[in-house]
Amino acid sequence: MLSMCTTAVFANSTVDMQLVSMGGNSAGGVNTYPYNLSINGGSPVPLICDSYDNKVTIGETWKAQVVGLLSGQGLFGNQLLNYKAAGLIFESILNGSVAVNVGNFAIWGLFSTDAQNSSFFQSSGAGSIEQHYLTLAAAAPNSAFNGLVLYTPIPGSQSRNGTPQEFIGYAPVPEPGAMMLFGTGMLALAGMVRRKLKVLQNQ
């Protein structure tokens, strides 16, 4: 089942980030997904890191720009095919078809030669996964990336260290039918409130 990471943020907004904890997975001497982050002071949500060469430490805070995965405004600029492959790998991690450690290294390898040169990347098959998903990404429709957002760090806003890591999150987009049902429910609720107010006013 797809594990959903919902956050009350919107694309093209600036948010406050804090690394609260790690999920316990690691490979090649580094922590892998999930990174549990508080966004705007909210409860921690699990995000995946795409920037192997940047570092964050627990308790560190910074500001990030929230942009769509395909916006071309991420930490690595307009590497659109790489971002698409990263998004597809992340979705496959969430649905259980790609193992966490190897999947995270495959994502890191898209943007970092240091990650590609690591012993775990070379021994785990992360390179094959990376190439497979680059091929898939080249043919995938933009709708395949709905709900995927980047949390791109704003350099200089961090409380310590250098420029923080960039993270990918998944906030599922409601189906139109669900939105209609939500709207209908809100209208019904508003009608009930109005009727109750009229009753109270007439008493």
- Number of domains, the chain: 2
CB atoms within 10 A of CB 57: 11
Domain check: are 82 and 95 in the same one?
yes
| Cα distance between residue 32 and residue 47, in whole Å | 10
C-alpha 6, offset from chain centre: 9
SS in 3 state form for 86-148?
A: HHHHHHHHHCCCCCHHHHHHHHHHHHCHHHHCCHHHHHHCHHHHHHHHHHHHHHCCHHHHCCE
Statement: residue 192 has pLDDT above 70: no
Residue 59 located in a structural domain: yes
Residue 32 located in a structural domain: yes
| Cα distance between residue 180 and residue 202, in whole Å | 33
| Cα distance between residue 145 and residue 175, in whole Å | 14
Residue 5 located in a structural domain: no
Domain extent at residue 192: 177-203
pLDDT tier, 12 (very low <50, low <70, confident <90, very high otherwise): confident
Residue 3 located in a structural domain: no
Domain check: are 107 and 184 in the same one?
no
Domain check: are 159 and 185 in the same one?
no
- Could you tell me the two tokens for 198? 């009229």
pLDDT tier, 182 (very low <50, low <70, confident <90, very high otherwise): very low
Domain check: are 45 and 131 in the same one?
yes
Domain check: are 183 and 147 in the same one?
no
| Cα distance between residue 88 and residue 181, in whole Å | 29
124-148 pLDDT, tens digit per residue, is 999 999 999 999 999 999 999 999 9
Q: How far is CA 111 from CA 50, 93, 121, 186, in A?
A: 7, 18, 13, 44
Domain check: are 96 and 167 in the same one?
yes
Handedness of CA 131, 133, 137, 139 (dihedral sign): positive
pTM for this model (two decimals): 0.82
Residue 2 located in a structural domain: no
Domain check: are 40 and 84 in the same one?
yes
| Cα distance between residue 48 and residue 57, in whole Å | 15
81-124 pLDDT, tens digit per residue, is 999 999 999 999 999 999 999 999 999 999 999 999 999 999 99
Domain check: are 77 and 117 in the same one?
yes
Contacts of 13 (CB under 8 A, 6+ apart): 65, 66
Statement: residue 1 has pLDDT above 80: no
Statement: residue 37 has pLDDT above 80: yes
